[in-house]
Structure 1
Amino acid sequence: MRWHVAAWLGMALLCASLHAAQGDASGIAEREARLSAQLRCLVCQNQSLAESNAPLAADMRRQIREQLGQGRSDTEVIAFFERRYGAFVRYEPPFRPATWLLWLGPFLLLAIGLLALWRVVRARRDAEADAPLTPEERRRAAAWLEGNGR
């Protein structure tokens, strides 16, 4: 009868360890999916690793799985790919001196465009205000003033 209890305990321990391993595997799969969505496919460039079917994307997803299986953190995995491929591999590159132009460039272009528009509008307004009337414009203005003056 004792061996039955020992067998049941052994089976219970085996099931618990299998369940824990399955939980770890599902946790790694979730982390892999999250990291794959944060990294850019270098072949497609407008798709994440999770969306891409390119062979390089499959290799990169496998590399993510391997690193997560080795116990590396998400930050370490992203840092590995960033060292290997540069900040371009991230969909949201970090804000640091090497990527300032990437983050601030659109705003700088907008400011330059608004400044140019303002200068053109001001120059046209000044040119129109300073220009004397032509003889034809003077004649039409006089005729209009005489017609409304009645």
Structure 2
Amino acid sequence: MKILLGGQLAALLLVLLVPPAFAVQPGEMLSDPNLEARARDISAGLRCLVCRNENIDDSNADLAHDLRVLVRDRLKAGDTNQQVVNYIVDRYGEYVLLKPPMKGANWLLWGAGPVMLLAGLGIGAVFIRRRARTPEEAQPLSAEESARLDDILKG
């Protein structure tokens, strides 16, 4: 039992101590550490269009590789971080951003969740309130109807 626990502990430590593997290949990295740091910062905010909710640095997809190279090429050309992001958004749309800005048509997307929640709560409240009310047409049973119901129930 102790050997098993020791082996599991060693495996756990090994997994925790190994740094995460990034998809950025050594050939893609820039020789200038400042430019590379800027490229990593920009890439952290760009979505892989194949993998959906993964940034391009973490993705092994070919399109993510192309975007990483494009980011680095634009930085080498002298673009600022914002110019690089604007260039990629112009080519691929705002969907490429992991955190799209809250402006324009995006307000509809940001607001749709809370609006739908409030609408659902409102519809549920109306349904429950209507169901709790007794209909105005409901009248107590007459003496004849009560007698007939008692006969039916007694069998």
| Aligned match of 1:86 | 93
| Aligned match of 2:122 | 115
Percent same amino acid among aligned pairs? 33
With over 3 angstroms needed to count, the CA separation of the structure-2 counterparts of 1:47 and 1:133, relative to structure 1, is farther
Offset, 1:133: 5.9
Measured on the aligned residues, the alpha-carbon RMSD in Å equals 2.3
| Aligned match of 1:68 | 75
CA contact (8 A) 2:71 2:84 kept: yes
With over 3 angstroms needed to count, the CA separation of the structure-2 counterparts of 1:82 and 1:131, relative to structure 1, is farther
Q: Distance in 2 between matches of 1:127 and 1:93?
A: 50
Q: Distance in 2 between matches of 1:132 and 1:30?
A: 79
In structure 1, list runs of 5 or more residues that go unmatched.
Answer: 1-23, 140-150
Aligned length, in residue pairs: 114
Question: How does the TM-score come out when normalised to structure 1?
Answer: 0.68
- Establish whether residue 43 from structure 1 lines up as the match of residue 50 from structure 2: yes
Question: How does the TM-score come out when normalised to structure 2?
Answer: 0.66
Find the structure with the greater CA-based Rg. Answer: 1
Query: After the TM superposition, which segments of 4 or more aligned residues of structure 1 sit over 2 Å from their partners?
Result: 127-136
CA contact (8 A) 2:53 2:98 kept: no
Offset, 1:50: 1.3
Q: Which residue of 111, 119, 140 corresponds with 1:104?
A: 111
Offset, 1:112: 1.0
With over 3 angstroms needed to count, the CA separation of the structure-2 counterparts of 1:133 and 1:39, relative to structure 1, is farther
In structure 2, list runs of 5 or more residues that go unmatched.
Answer: 1-30, 151-155
